[in-house]
Amino acid sequence: MPKLRLALVGYGNAANLHLPGYRQLGPERCEVVAVCGHSLERAQAYADKHAIPHAFGSLTELLASVDVDAVDLVVPNHVHRQYAIEAAQAGKHVIVEKPLTGYFGDPNTAEDEMVGKTVSKRHMLERVIADCDAILDAVKAAGVKLCYAENWCYAPAFTKLRRLVNVAGGTILRLEAEESHSGSPSIYAADTTLGGVHNYLEAYLSNARVRANINPNDACVAYAPADHIFGDEYLTEKIETKGGWSCASPDDAWMQGYAHEIADFVGAIAEDREPLSGAILARDVSIVLYAAYVSAEEGRRVEVKL
């Protein structure tokens, strides 16, 4: 299996979730050789901290300066389209965080105007479809892979649920799921969820019922009468206090599927196969989300071509 050379585009929270996955695979399988972002100073600081050889202030400069096989887009969603197309046109495989894209305003939207305030949800859906297709067309034309970083597909509990459902063979009557975060610095911020992350999926079949818990789960449960007792020891993501009862995750990256998705992406690129979570899922998810917004606004069912 050939060794892959990768670049991180971005140096924030998502980069910290992906980098350990590459390091766990070992230098004989892959190496992160560069990082870039809108701030060269911050990119260099990240490179120094994590022993990454090169840092750049833009993707364009990175692609012109360093030989890489793939780029990992761990950047805000509104630049996914631009960077994915630029990387694909340069012949690089693309790993992109979720969601693939979205509606972020039109070119003539004023900076102080709320995005979408006066725009119909159907217009948003049309823009999302066009952006998804532009990304997938660029990837197809370049003959490169698009790996969609939806860690739920790889979380061990969900993988087990999928296998049990397949073996049971019953009719799926209902699926119930929730992904909610408390105090997230990014897109999951919510004022209706306390106590950290709450992620689960439950499948109701005609002959079985299966529930998969990512967070919280009771693999390790801890209690402390005061929040200082456990000191700096990590318990779980985004909890407000370490006091009281806590579900202390033994290995968040493993439980949430981050290590598994990175292993699949590296394998898919090296072995010239499609990843479990790839371009089709990335497009479908974005379009279905915005079709739901249209349905809510128009009060009727909405059909979309996937």
Architecture field, domain 4-151+258-298: 3-Layer(aba) Sandwich (3.40)
Contact (CB, 8 A) for 74 and 15: yes
What integer pLDDT is reported at residue 47 of this predicted model? 98
Phi, psi of 174 (to 5 degrees): -160, 145
Contact (CB, 8 A) for 239 and 184: no
Closest CA to 71 of 94, 50, 88, 89: 94
What integer pLDDT is reported at residue 283 of this predicted model? 98
State the span(s) of the chain assigned CATH 3.40.50.720. 4-151+258-298
Taking only the tens of pLDDT, the chain with its 306 residues reads 789 999 999 999 899 999 999 999 999 999 999 999 999 999 999 999 999 999 999 999 999 999 999 999 999 999 999 999 999 999 999 999 999 999 998 877 777 778 877 889 999 999 999 999 999 999 999 999 999 999 999 999 999 999 999 999 999 999 999 988 876 555 557 666 788 888 999 999 999 999 999 888 889 999 999 999 999 999 988 888 999 999 999 998 899 999 999 999 999 999 999 999 999 999 999 999 999 999 999 999 999 888
What integer pLDDT is reported at residue 192 of this predicted model? 66
What integer pLDDT is reported at residue 240 of this predicted model? 87
Angstrom distance (rounded) from CA 149 to CA 282: 9
Q: Reduced to 3 states, what is the DSSP secondary structure of residue 296?
A: helix
Closest CA to 293 of 127, 177, 120: 120
Q: Which two tokens stand for residue 133?
A: 């297709």
- The total number of residues shown for the chain amounts to 306
